Amino acid sequence: MRILKLTEDTRKNLLEDLLKRSPNSYKQYEDNVNEIIENVRRNGDSAVFSYTKQFDGADIHEENIRVTRGEIDRAYELVDDKLIEVMKKSLENIRTYHEKQKQYSWFDSRPDGVLLGQKVTPLARVGVYVPGGKAAYPSSVLMNVLPAKVAGVGKIVMTTPCNREGHVNPATLAAADLAGVDEIYKVGGAQAVAALAFGTKSIPKVDKIVGPGNIYVALAKKAVFGHVNIDSIAGPSEILVLADESANPRYVAADLLSQAEHDELASAILITTSETLAKQVSAEIDNFTAVLSRKDIIEKSLENYGYILVAEDMEEAVNAVNEIASEHLEILTANPFETMMKIQNAGAIFLGEYASEPLGDYFAGPNHVLPTNGTAKFFSPLSVDDFIKKSSIISYSREALEPIYKDIVQFAESERLTAHANSIKVRFED
């Protein structure tokens, strides 16, 4: 794994390199995605069925597009009982964490008859997209569905690709059932996003679409934003480890590789103040990679987006961490809690040598749907907030309005909005 001295030039080049992975850099696919979306919008089910046959090789129609209770029951029989128990434990951790995020309506009244407040309402219908191509991710099902359930969403609709025989991955189905998904449909790709955004005869229109996917799914979510809300346009996975000489090089190497194995565009970066640690981690990475099952993907990922950067001091290292704004940040320093206080930009922060990134992916409870490609500077992890909307509440008595109505009239007239001013004045006509 390449080792570089952290300088202004290496930091600038690294940031430019990482931004190439953003879905915004894949405009060559946009025409194809837009064509799929428009076809589904105009032709509904027939377009969905046609694309499912074309891309997944499955004969899907009105009678079999929705997963049945029988299919879910069979899925439980195919999944290891121990995995079911693990998913139940993970589910409870995720639910407990997100219940602490709940917001409630509030009202503030004054003696003169002013009442101000905020009404919190869960979304009526949410669509959850779940990938089903090279690998199945039941953990993503739990992470996307449970915040919506905690928020009180009325109906949760899931779409996920099926195989040629029309079957959905059993672990995905079991996770969806455990989490409380209401309806599951066998459709993937941009066509699934379009179906959720506009609705078809078989698939209901939703208010918001969440969940990860390939570049076609990401671009489709971007294209339908405005017709529906979306969680984010996710890019490839990334991890940044901030470490000093106290870190265990074997742990650091293992954690970097946990993200590099996702895909060839994944990013794994170590920033350290110790040149000795840098060399030790590089050697450990070579040893691990030689025996890991996804060796080819890991090697390509590290070749493209793997870096070990040696900083002059911790201040320089922290500045670089904040500039990169990584999806996952591990802090392996002598005092990780002190270091954490200097971090401004990160999706999820893991503190200490026993809080490795996969703990957050699967079990701890905080959401693993996180901002990528530097968007942690202004975006947050998926949460209960993503599944509610807020309405402002305003009520004034005549007694409360009278002392201030001329102020409002003056403000409105200064903007030449005389109808606004009149709406206030008519209430105090002689």
Q: Do residues 183 and 66 lie in contact, with contact meaning Cβ atoms separated by under 8 Å?
A: yes
Nearest to 157 by CA among 67, 245, 247: 67
5 strand-pairing partners: 310
In angstroms, how far apart are the furthest CA atoms of the chain? 89
Q: Do residues 224 and 194 lie in contact, with contact meaning Cβ atoms separated by under 8 Å?
A: yes
Q: Do residues 170 and 79 lie in contact, with contact meaning Cβ atoms separated by under 8 Å?
A: yes
- Residue 331 host element (H or E): strand 328-332
CB atoms within 10 A of CB 121: 12
How far is the C-alpha of 154 from the C-alpha of 144, rounded, in Å?
Answer: 15
327 is catalytic: yes
Q: Do residues 131 and 137 lie in contact, with contact meaning Cβ atoms separated by under 8 Å?
A: yes
Catalytic residue among 328, 330, 357, 368: 328
Give the C-alpha distances (Å, rounded to integers) separating 360 from 31, 143, 227, 402: 36, 10, 32, 55
**H helices present in 152-214, as ranges:** 170-179, 189-198
Identify how many contiguous H helices and E strands the chain contains and give both numbers.
18, 14
Q: Do residues 371 and 380 lie in contact, with contact meaning Cβ atoms separated by under 8 Å?
A: yes
Catalytic residue among 238, 284, 327, 357: 327
How far is the C-alpha of 202 from the C-alpha of 61, rounded, in Å?
Answer: 9
How far is the C-alpha of 403 from the C-alpha of 412, rounded, in Å?
Answer: 16
Classify 418 as helix, strand or coil.
Answer: helix
Helix axis angle for 170-179 and 81-99, nearest 10°, is 40
323 is catalytic: no
Strand blocks (E) in 88-237: 106-109, 115-122, 125-129, 155-160, 183-186, 208-210, 229-230
Give the C-alpha distances (Å, rounded to integers) separating 48 from 69, 182, 222: 22, 20, 19
Which residues carry out catalysis? 327-328
